[in-house]
Amino acid sequence: MTRILLILFALICGPAATLAATAPVNLAPNSQWEVWSGVAHQTQYNYQGTGTTSPLSASANTTGTIGRSTFSVTTTADLSVGDLVLASGSGIDGCFTVGPMRIVGLVANTSITVRTYLGCTPTVNHATTLTMVGVGNQAAAGTGAGPD
């Protein structure tokens, strides 16, 4: 009986209806929901688990791109698409310092592209230090602090 109902549902609603139920939907694509406010960010551990990753030097960043910015680097080390990085340095655009940015593109040992915060359009081009950070801070455990 169940099998007959499923076949009827697929015939009436079409195959797209059955596939749509399994497709993931990001309801807040620009929310940076994984970022924790109120707690300091912890430097990401390296893949070996022997210590934290070293900050990377970026020689410059692209300017004028809404929603994305690309940093020129000489090494991408342990970085991968999906990681979070904090930017710091003398004279960098203030919108880079709002909080961690998600890496959305990477060319090994050449550049990384990050998703900037909503409304951030970088206008200056300066050397930057990029630090890979985790989702939250382990010191916040048990405090009630969590993702925004």
User: What is the per-residue pLDDT across 102-128, written as a single tens digit (0 to 9) for each?
Assistant: 999 999 999 999 988 888 888 778 888
Is the pLDDT reported for residue 7 higher than 80? no
Residue 70 near residue 112, CB atoms below 8 Å: yes
Length of the chain: 148
Q: Where are the domains of the chain?
A: 56-136
Q: Can you name the residues that pair with 84 across neighbouring β-strands?
A: 102, 133
For residue 142, pLDDT beyond 80: no
CATH, domain 56-136, list 3.40.47.10, 2.60.40.10, 2.40.30.20, 1.10.10.10: 2.40.30.20
* 90-106 confidence digits (pLDDT tens): 888 888 888 888 999 99
CB 137 within 8 A of CB 41: yes
d(Cα 22, Cα 19) in Å, to the nearest integer? 6
Strand pairing category for 128-133 and 68-73: unpaired
Residue with tokens 């359009």: 121
Give the pLDDT band of residue 11 (cuts 50, 70, 90).
low
